[in-house]
Amino acid sequence: MRMKTPVPPNMLGAYGPWAADLLGDAPGSLSFRNDRWANVEEWRPLARAGVAARLAAPKLPTPTPTVHRQYVMDGLHVEELSWQHPAGAPTQAVFLKPADATGKLPAVLGLHCHGGQKFFGKEKITRTDADMHPIMAHHQAHYYGGRAWANELARQGYAVLVHDAFAFASRRVLLADVPEVIRNGVTDPGWADVPGIEAYNRWAGHHESILARSLFSAGTTWPGVFLAEDHAALDVLCARADVDTSRVGCAGLSGGGLRTVYLAGMDERIRCAVAVGMMTTWRDYVLHKSHTHTWMVYPPLLPNELDYPEILGLRVPLPTLVLNDSEDQLFTLPEMQRADAILADVFAKAGASDRYHCNFYPGPHKFDVPMQEEAFAWFARWLVGND
């Protein structure tokens, strides 16, 4: 009797190798690594159009922001502002720049992470109050070395805008707005209700599959909605008189890294990008790590045409930095390394190897102070012009 070769454990059990074979190792039809493409400027519009079709991002009007409060805190000029999209509560945001800044500044759109904290958004990477919410104090200590990195970057001479992403904080799904049958006895908490916030975050995590299926049924995707709202936030940032629109970047960890991949890949206004803790391959998700990730990652059918890192590669030859953690529990190291090789090949083929860099740091999923310093140096090099 012939014995079958044992299949290593994976997300699909015995079906895993079969599913991975559907992807294969050859570059997809929209990949710049594909032999059919030789010229970046001929390839990119077609590739971006293909990605746009898969994302099916909704069309949003350019928002008109309202400034609710302005003040100076720790040497920074701070503005609390909001803008209204066609549905849901207004998007709340924080704008930061040095209090003594004059003229047009280089600017960065700060993209907050997921972290299982849907009750919060911009608070994850900013600080606008001496008394931080205890959940956010722990969050920044755990993932960011105790730093509000958006504030730190603003102190170095940048205009920084951080807004709440779709389904987070001011843009979160309210329990009062959904059918009672899916509330599971949870109610909308107040700001000081720590147990209530923790219960809401657990509910919101379980609700992701329902929200994703609903978006698919509406003819759009979660990354498409992210892209639309992040694009609108970029509109707000670039419309400011104190921003130099020729020197605009974006950065984020984890869910913010995911949003960096899509926004920086699809929007030419992002002249410099830093994606942190969110770089691997579709094969990694198929075989190993779909259980560690949010429904926000996935655009149906796109893996047939582009590998995940190649979405970020759509921006070639614009400066692009990827920062990984070697022991990141969300990915496997071999696939993070393969993603690096894929991006390196894309930039090399375009004759822009000097515009791409990837670095691996020891430790688990994070964007700690040493990683932030490398990111800030990358912005200084490409947005300011001094290493």
Share of the chain above pLDDT 70, in %: 97
Please tell me the predicted confidence (pLDDT) of residue 301.
94
Greatest Cα-to-Cα distance within the chain, rounded to the nearest angstrom: 80
Angle between helices 222-238 and 255-266 (to 10 degrees): 70
Q: Which residues of 116-137 are buried (b: 16+ CB within 10 A; e: fewer)?
A: ebbbbbbbbbbbbeeeebebbe
Single out the residue of 54, 375, 25 nearest to residue 219, CA to CA. 54
What 3-state DSSP class applies to 199?
Answer: helix
Q: Residue 5: is its pLDDT beyond 60? A: no
Contacts of 136 (CB under 8 A, 6+ apart): 120, 123, 124
Q: What is the pLDDT of residues 210-261, one digit of tens each?
A: 999 999 999 999 999 999 999 999 999 999 999 999 999 999 999 999 999 9
**Does residue 1 surpass a pLDDT of 60?**
no
Q: Domains in the chain, start-ordered, CATH in brackets? A: 66-384 (3.40.50.1820)
In the prediction, which pLDDT does 316 show?
Answer: 98
Q: Is residue 2 pLDDT above 50, yes or no?
A: no
pLDDT tens digits, 340-386: 999 999 999 999 999 999 999 999 999 999 999 999 999 999 999 85
- Find how far residue 67's CA is from the centre of its chain: 25
SS3 248: strand
Q: Are strands 272-276 and 105-111 parallel, antiparallel or unpaired?
A: unpaired
Which residues lie closer than 8 Å to 27 by C-beta, 6 or more apart? Answer: 33, 34, 307
pLDDT at 8: 64
Q: How confident is the model at residue 154 (pLDDT cuts 50, 70, 90)?
A: very high
Given a cut of 80, whether residue 146 has pLDDT beyond it is: yes
Residue 60 has a pLDDT of 96
Instruction: Kindly state the DSSP code that residue 253 receives in the 8-state scheme.
Output: E
Q: Do residues 20 and 286 touch, judged by C-beta distance below 8 A?
A: yes
Strand partners, 243: 105
Q: What's the pLDDT tens digit per position in 23-54?
A: 888 999 999 999 999 999 999 999 999 999 99
What's the average model confidence in pLDDT over 283-298?
Answer: 87
pLDDT of residue 315: 98
Instruction: Round to whole Å and give the CA distance between 387 and 380.
Output: 6
**For all residues of the chain together, what is the average pLDDT?**
94
Q: Which residues contact 382 (CB under 8 A, 6 or more apart)?
A: 249, 271, 272, 319
Task: Encode burial over 15-28: b for 16+ CB neighbours within 10 A, e otherwise.
Answer: ebeeebeebeeebb
Q: DSSP labels for 52-85? A: HHHH-PPP-PPP--EEEEEEEETTEEEEEEEE--
- Using alpha carbons, list the distances in angstroms from residue 335 to 44, 115, 123, 339: 25, 22, 31, 6
Preceding omega of 317 cis (within 30 degrees of 0): yes
pLDDT at 318 over 90: yes
Q: What is the mean pLDDT of residues 152-175?
A: 98
* Chain centroid, CA 163 distance in Å: 12
Q: What is the pTM of this model?
A: 0.95
Residue 265: φ, ψ to 5°: -75, -30
Distances (CA, A) of 142 to 27, 152, 200, 297, 367: 37, 17, 20, 23, 9
- Residue 121, CA distances (Å) to 49, 116, 151, 331, 340 in order: 30, 11, 15, 23, 29
SS3 120: coil
Residue 134 binned pLDDT confidence (cut-offs 50, 70, 90): very high
What is the token pair recorded at 93? 């945001």
* The two structure tokens encoding residue 116: 């299982």
Classify 116 in phi/psi space as left (phi over 0), alpha (psi -120 to 50) or beta. Answer: left
Q: Across 8-12, 289-293, 347-351, which has the greatest mean pLDDT?
A: 347-351
In this predicted model, what pLDDT tens digit does every residue of 186-199 receive, in sequence order?
Answer: 999 999 999 999 99
- Please give the C-alpha separations between residue 119 and each of 141, 170, 189, 330, in angstroms, as whole numbers: 18, 8, 9, 22
pLDDT band at residue 87, thresholds of 50, 70 and 90? very high
Torsion angle (degrees, nearest 10) of CA 6, 12, 18, 21: -110
